[in-house]
Amino acid sequence: MAETLGFCEELRPEGCGFVLFGATGDLAARKVLPALFGLCEKGIAPRNFYVVLSGRTPLDRPALEARLAAALGRSGVPPRPAAFAAFLERVEYLRADYDSPAFYAGLAAKLEALDAKFGVRRRRLFYLATPPAAFEPVSARLREAGLLFDPKDCTCWSRLIIEKPYGSSLETAVSLASSLGRAVPEAQVYRIDHFTGKETVQNVLALRSANPVFDGTWNRAFVDHVQITVLEELGLEGREAFFEHMGLARDMMSHILQLAAITAMDLPASFHDADFKTEKKRFFDSLRLPAPADVPAMAVRGQYASYSGQPGVAPGSAAETFLAFRFFVDNDRWRDVPFYVRAGKKTGAKATRIAVVYKKPAAGVFGAMDIGYPNVFSFGIQPEERVDFTLIGKHPGPRLCFARREMGLDYRPVPGEAAKYPTDYERLLLEAMAGDRTLFLSYDEIRRMWEFLSPLLDSWREKPAACPLRTYPDGTPGPAEAAELLRRDGRDWV
């Protein structure tokens, strides 16, 4: 393992209680419960820590334990019995009735009792793994029950974690934010986009900050274009009902724009919340919003061939499972540099990648010859966690010939090392426990995302013939028109 350099910040959150609403739902089973268990198993949860799981389904203790075991088993390796037993000691279940004041009174009493048992000083996180429609009523009831403490009043705190979708349109996102704002101050709201918690996403910013060679050349003078790829092997796997309503653009746009922001934002003065958010906001403010008339030429939507036959999918459904588009960032660093994105389901293999493609030589020996793009910085976000750089050098041998070469860096060269460190969700839960909002999204980002997305969604709805839904065979990287999008500009996906 390489020695660490400079500062090395480690999170040590203080003791707290964690309340998970929607604990019997899909998000809880897939992401939140495995993360809570992982934090405990890896020994990085606070020492004084407990978990209250709450859902509408009545569950006795054996049923709760069976559900937890099943969720953890499905999320990866089945838990070791000793670690699972230790986790269960910290977990309680409370059946939820989200509309009833009596439920919140019961919850308040339970939390007081658990605080005393685990030595926690009224410090609580409420994770709303519920449909967004429940965010406002639940937070209002928490406030009425005296459970949303204002940190100014005491050494205690309470924080609310919520998850996308943050609305389904600009209007619903604005109304969700204002109703949530009535119940809880912004400073206590933690909006998750789990891509910000990925190690390799943070590494992009780390590399840019510490190595002037990156940041000094990441601008319009050197970079020809940027590509962002978020392809997934899996299809909808039981989430068809959600997709029928949302589609891929609404589901994935936040992740895509977070990857774009980390790549293109100016470097913050520090990695702390205010500095980081200031620069990120400047990036979002510079995003050029699509003009409705440009949408047919800048975006391609697709659907994998077997989608339409699946249970829960309406005949002739127009839900997109693939999206490719081009966008621009109107600031001094990136003006006129195209960013190309492709994201989709059932595309044959999972690959999340950012590629910064440098300009071709304009002068010198190769100035008049097309040798392709000599330099590409490619960041493998997942499942491959790598940084690769291509360059052209001399081909070994007696003559002066040139060849394309590649330098590669494995982000985690030590086998098994990844299992010791927090996953994306684990890291974000830890940050929320520590009260660090740096990696969480501000309302400004959400609003800007919807402003960006709305012209696409409107065009697809209002002028479907101008932006046809393209079918692509299962297991292929999207429709041919996605390649055409770049080819028209004289480029290809790298």
Residues catalogued as catalytic: 255
The vertex-240 CA angle with 236 and 244, nearest 5°, equals 125
Using CB under 6 A as the binding rule, whether residue 426 contacts ligand BG6 is answered as no
Nearer to ligand BG6, 231 or 329 (CB): 231
Among positions 75-114, residues that touch ligand BG6 (CB under 6 A) are none
Nearer to ligand BG6, 32 or 148 (CB): 32
Q: What is the closest distance, in whole angstroms, from the C-beta atom of residue 235 to ligand BG6 in the complex?
A: 10
Among 41, 92, 136, 232, binds ligand BG6 (CB under 6 A): 232
Q: Among the residues of 15-169, which ranges form H helices?
A: 26-27, 33-41, 61-74, 81-88, 101-118, 135-144
Among positions 114-173, residues that touch ligand BG6 (CB under 6 A) are none
Q: What is the closest distance, in whole angstroms, from the C-beta atom of residue 190 to ligand BG6 in the complex?
A: 16
Q: What is the closest distance, in whole angstroms, from the C-beta atom of residue 26 to ligand BG6 in the complex?
A: 10
Total residue count of the chain as it appears in this document = 494
The vertex-222 CA angle with 218 and 224, nearest 5°, equals 95
Q: What is the closest distance, in whole angstroms, from the C-beta atom of residue 32 to ligand BG6 in the complex?
A: 13
**CA gap 304, 427 in Å, rounded:** 33
**CA gap 229, 298 in Å, rounded:** 16
What is the bridge-based pairing of β-strands 401-410 and 223-231?
Answer: unpaired
What is the bridge-based pairing of β-strands 157-163 and 189-192?
Answer: parallel
Site size toward ligand BG6 (CB under 6 A) is 3
**CA gap 329, 285 in Å, rounded:** 9
Nearer to ligand BG6, 18 or 243 (CB): 243
Task: Of 16, 273, 276, give the one whose Cα is nearest residue 127.
Answer: 16
Nearer to ligand BG6, 196 or 331 (CB): 196
The vertex-276 CA angle with 271 and 280, nearest 5°, equals 145
Nearer to ligand BG6, 193 or 224 (CB): 193
Q: What is the closest distance, in whole angstroms, from the C-beta atom of residue 146 to ligand BG6 in the complex?
A: 33
Using CB under 6 A as the binding rule, whether residue 251 contacts ligand BG6 is answered as yes
Beta bridge partners of 472: 304
The residue whose two tokens read 């609403």 is 21
Nearer to ligand BG6, 141 or 345 (CB): 345
CA distances from 475 to 182, 237, 433, 484 (A): 46, 15, 40, 19
Among positions 179-208, residues that touch ligand BG6 (CB under 6 A) are 194
By beta carbon distance, the residue nearest ligand BG6 is: 251
Task: Of 143, 156, 186, give the one whose Cα is nearest residue 17.
Answer: 156
Q: What is the closest distance, in whole angstroms, from the C-beta atom of residue 263 to ligand BG6 in the complex?
A: 17
Binding-site ranges for ligand BG6 (CB under 6 A): 194, 232, 251
